[in-house]
């Protein structure tokens, strides 16, 4: 049996084969999500070095591999191909012809040199869904721009609304734009698979980091596009809701996310000053937004009576949205306490299990599965089996 033949796998995407030419984060995140849902994912890597993130450490797991690579590469099998060689190109072509989905994030135009561009493959594999992830699209003015998450956070406006008003622009504490682009890519692939199920036709799915970020700016973007209002950095404050921020207590910081008038009334009652809700400065949400600094002073004066932990417990019972600012360890403990089972374990050869965050999608009939730890780098290239679709008839998904 070939190394690429499907094992018995159940899942919403069982029987779907994905050839993943992508590297680093956005593409690998998308294909891992689809792999969790049952798709067979073949990860194509450079001989010798593989995906760049294999070397992005510390930290490392118990097997000595980068945890960055681990984070987005479970449920995949690795194959190494040298695309600068004729043999490597032929093997890559064979993989593409046997695939339902191809994902790539090469610089626009590069795969055309190897005979692996969408226009070159669609005649040979009409049912192929070809997902291309770029930094800034395919316009000739965009090709020279490097698609790094930090750069896109900067030029895409996210850093302009992140950080304290008096401080410098800040990036988000994770490569959020890559993650968003990966989610949009996975969504586009699923839509294309559904279309192919109905028609037998594959198609090109294009996602770029800049458009992904602009779409994800949601209310901040709409304030500009629909009202001409340019958002600015506000620290932890919200431009349209108050109190919706981080507040100092007697010990520790507390998040309040008060979104309704009744919640604000209950907050004032629990703080011991119900009359605060009737203060003309704070009578409506618009009033509170206009007088947010005065409101902060009043709330922090009252919050000083207890610790953040005590307030969080009291307010939560009263259905006032509040919570402490957790570190990541505490966040996982909270999810565990709530029965969300946030961590899955995958076997590592000769070592303790590899613990990774669970796929957040819960399906009652076809749940996600966790079959394989992130793969070691393949030493030699391997040849795929022939296409399972033959006449390119629609694949049921």
Q: Which conformational region is residue 377 in: left (phi greater than 0), alpha (psi within -120 to 50 degrees), or beta?
A: beta
Task: Respond yes or no: is residue 178 known to be catalytic.
Answer: yes
For residue 372, how many other CB atoms are within 10 A of its CB?
Answer: 16
Helix, strand, coil share (%) of the chain residues, nearest 5:
35, 15, 50
- Can you say whether residue 15 is alpha, beta or left, with left for phi > 0 and alpha for psi between -120 and 50 degrees? left
- The single residue listed with the structure tokens 């209002």 is 229
Query: Token pair of 360, please?
Result: 């957040």
Q: Which of 132, 134, 136 is nearest to 154 (CA)?
A: 136
CA distances from 297 to 248, 301, 323 (A): 10, 6, 19
| Rounded alpha-carbon distances, angstroms, from residue 68 to 151, 165, 235, 259, 352 | 19, 32, 28, 36, 18
- Which member of 36, 61, 70, 178 is catalytic? 178
* Backbone phi and psi for residue 38, each to the nearest 5 degrees, phi listed first: 115, -10
Maximum Cα interatomic distance, the chain, rounded to a whole number of Å: 79
The number of residues in the chain equals 397
> Cβ contacts of residue 353 below 8 Å, gap of 6+?
345, 346, 347
Sheet holding 203-208, edge to edge: 77-80, 40-45, 17-20, 101-104, 129-134, 203-208
Query: Residue 158's closest CA among 87, 215, 239, 84?
Result: 215
Q: Find out whether 380 and 47 touch, Cβ atoms under 8 Å.
A: no
**Distance (Å, whole) CA 266 – CA 255:** 16
Distance of alpha carbon 225 from alpha carbon 215, whole angstroms: 12
Distances (CA, A) of 49 to 21, 45, 82, 252, 267: 14, 8, 11, 45, 56
Q: What's the token pair of residue 355?
A: 């613990």
Give catalytic residue positions.
178
């Amino acid at each position: 049996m070939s190394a690429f033949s499907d094992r018995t796998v159940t899942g919403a995407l069982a029987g779907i084969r994905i050839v993943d030419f992508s590297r680093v984060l956005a593409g690998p995140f998308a294909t891992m999500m689809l792999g969790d849902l049952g798709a067979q994912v073949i990860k194509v890597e450079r001989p010798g070095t593989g995906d760049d993130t294999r070397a992005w450490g510390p930290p490392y797991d118990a097997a000595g591999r980068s945890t960055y690579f681990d984070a987005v590469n479970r449920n995949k099998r690795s194959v190494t191909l040298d695309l600068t060689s004729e043999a490597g190109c032929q093997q890559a072509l064979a993989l593409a012809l046997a695939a339902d989905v191809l994902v790539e994030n090469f610089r626009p135009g590069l795969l055309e040199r190897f005979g692996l561009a969408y226009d070159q493959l669609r005649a040979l594999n009409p049912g192929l869904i070809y997902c291309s992830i770029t930094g800034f699209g395919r316009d000739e003015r965009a090709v020279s721009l490097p698609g790094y998450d930090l750069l896109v956070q900067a030029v895409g406006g996210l850093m302009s609304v992140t950080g304290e008003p008096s401080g410098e622009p800040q990036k988000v504490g994770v490569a959020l734009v890559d993650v968003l682009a990966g989610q949009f890519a996975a969504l586009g692939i699923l839509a294309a698979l559904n279309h192919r199920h109905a028609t037998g036709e594959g198609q090109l799915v294009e996602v770029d980091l800049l458009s992904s970020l602009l779409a994800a700016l949601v209310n901040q973007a709409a304030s500009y596009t629909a009202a001409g209002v340019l958002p600015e950095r506000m620290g932890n404050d919200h431009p349209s809701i108050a109190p919706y921020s981080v507040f100092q207590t007697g010990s520790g910081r507390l998040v309040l996310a008060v979104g309704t008038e009744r919640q604000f009334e209950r907050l004032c009652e629990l703080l011991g000053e119900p009359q605060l809700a009737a203060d003309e400065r704070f009578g409506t949400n618009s009033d509170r937004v206009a007088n947010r600094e005065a409101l902060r002073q009043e709330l922090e004066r009252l919050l000083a009576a207890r610790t953040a932990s005590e307030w969080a417990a009291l307010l939560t019972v009263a259905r006032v949205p509040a919570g402490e600012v957790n570190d990541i360890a505490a966040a996982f403990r909270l999810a565990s306490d709530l029965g969300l089972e946030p961590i899955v374990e995958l076997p590592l050869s000769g070592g303790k299990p590899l613990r990774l965050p669970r796929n957040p999608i819960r399906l009652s009939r076809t749940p996600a599965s966790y079959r394989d730890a992130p793969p070691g780098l393949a030493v030699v290239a391997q040849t795929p089996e022939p296409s399972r679709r033959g006449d390119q008839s629609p694949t049921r998904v």
